[in-house]
A and B are shown apart, each in its own frame.
Chain A
């Protein structure tokens, strides 16, 4: 057993940390304030291969591992959680299902453009009346000759109008319940496919989140992903992978808040000594650091298991549950350590608290993660 990163992974960490520090961190406050999608950062990431880390080289990717990908999302998110989720939603929720469930033609058609970042990917499962109960899908897909006609809407879609390719779930047979859900690949610009309102959010405000609307949207039969009626399985498997990404994002936010806190408490003096000299500070900091390191072990274990090709569903759920709750606790306490300054936008910790909250909600709430974990335990 070996807990250390390989030399290759260390080299990757060196690169991504420098990239995050120099290219991502300086924009974090600005894109939050302006609620602006960081397109310039996506272009920089695309250039060096960050948009296709776990994609085989034959499809234009970097041929890296999921562990490497989780390190990328962690490091990007430590600087800017918005940037972390752009990569995570793209990679885990769009690239991965095409790679894992697509036909060779679909892989050839979509993966090279996605892996090189020429195109951005997105995923549409959630509907106004189908959140945690994903089986209550109301979007429909009706076969008409060689085409499917899609009607319905999807909400809270990350990367939204900035994406080019969307994995969308729709009912092909309502009478079959979850077995009547089918996955489709839909391209931006398809007639009948438009965008609804853009959400105004508490955190990850640079990330674009919008509604997808399908009104008699006609797509060719070849865009069916997997099998007819196999959509629910694809969605659940995809979300297992997505949870590794979001767990890494939460971990990154927690680490980012730790970095800011350690720096601040060494500098800030009260009663004639730095805050770091007070034992109350030291004890709280020790507890937070222990949680962050524990979260990292869970995240890396889940990513490692995915790389090994073994079942990692419960591992991903535990990683996401624990990392998300750690991110909330660390960012909340980070503000407390910063006092009044931490509550202002002069310091990044208030943004980090706002960004952390979503990690307890999207790609399965913490309650859903507990369902997944106990279901694996009690089966």
Chain B
């Protein structure tokens, strides 16, 4: 069984502060992490490796520093890492990004392609589904759980707004995973010790199958109209009371708002 996992390096948005005068993000000193949905996807793949001895390839597209997320993936247990980087990819929106990734993925064999649902620095949830469309593969988004029959069929629990769906799909297929679906394991110490002596394959435009016009800024139809920070909600009311009294207050507030 072969699995490919797409991961993205993102700023840890829980650590980001907003400049109160300009309303822009202060990114200085903010640590970079593996996007949480992607990390859950990585754990899904590692779980299948534990069960079925699957071979895992991880791929990321990004600048030189994105190497760090591939090393982390090595330390968690993946077998192969590809770093997709080229000046021609710079300035890509989701469409151009998915074209570049699909171009690389055409060069790889897999039974299952895993992406995160969305990245915390963009929140579009578009790249995974777009890749599936470019590759003409079946896709299941918002994955909560996956079972594999050991042959070719996946049984997938998919979250919807008001419940979930159970789907059966044959590989090769694409899934996009929710961050809560699989709790990522810790990197193991031996994996960390060896992470920087293992080979990350560097792939550029020359290594992939894609039309150059579809890449980078030129291939990106999206234009940012305006960026703004969401208004701050009211501070709320704070009560320091015992549990019984707290339940009473909550119930009366819920009734007041006609929620119950």
Interaction A to B: yes
Chain A residues with CB under 8 Å of B195's CB are 8, 11
Interface flag for B71 (CB, 8 Å): yes
CA distance A49 to B185 in the complex (A): 13
* Chain A: CB-nearest residue to B72: A11
Map CB proximity to B onto A33-65 as digits: 1 under 8 Å, 0 otherwise. 000000000000001111011000100011110
CA distance A14 to B39 in the complex (A): 15
Q: Are A11 and B186 in contact (CB under 8 A)?
A: no
Q: Which A1-45 residues have a C-beta within 8 angstroms of B? A: 6-8, 11-12, 14-15, 18-19
Report which residue of A12, A15, A64 has the largest number of chain B beta carbons within 10 angstroms of its beta carbon: A15
- Within the complex, the shortest CB–CB distance from B39 to chain A, in Å, comes to 12
Report which residue of B75, B185, B189 has the largest number of chain A beta carbons within 10 angstroms of its beta carbon: B189
Interface flag for B190 (CB, 8 Å): yes
The majority secondary structure among interface residues of chain B is helix
Q: Are A15 and B196 in contact (CB under 8 A)?
A: no
Q: Are A49 and B75 in contact (CB under 8 A)?
A: no
Number of chain B residues whose Cβ lies closer than 8 Å to a Cβ of chain A: 15
Interface flag for B188 (CB, 8 Å): yes
- Within the complex, the shortest CB–CB distance from A245 to chain B, in Å, comes to 16
Given A11-B75, A15-B75, A49:B189 Cβ within 8 A = yes
Interface flag for B192 (CB, 8 Å): yes
Map CB proximity to B onto A152-193 as digits: 1 under 8 Å, 0 otherwise. 000000000000000000000000000000000000000000
CB within 8 A of A57: which of B68, B71, B72, B190?
B190
Chain A residues with CB under 8 Å of B250's CB are none
Chain B residues with CB under 8 Å of A47's CB are 188
Q: Which B90-146 residues have a C-beta within 8 angstroms of A? A: none
Q: Are A63 and B188 in contact (CB under 8 A)?
A: no
Q: Are B193 and A48 in contact (CB under 8 A)?
A: no
CA distance A47 to B186 in the complex (A): 10
Map CB proximity to A onto B11-39 as digits: 1 under 8 Å, 0 otherwise. 00000000000000000000000000000
Given A7-B196, A8-B196, A11-B195, A64:B189 Cβ within 8 A = yes
15 extra A-B contacts, CB within 8 A, seeds A11-B71, A11-B196, A12-B189:
A6-B196, A7-B71, A8-B193, A11-B187, A12-B192, A15-B186, A19-B186, A48-B189, A49-B189, A50-B189, A62-B190, A62-B192, A63-B193, A68-B189, A68-B193
The 3 closest A-B pairs by CB, nearest first: A49-B189, A62-B189, A62-B190
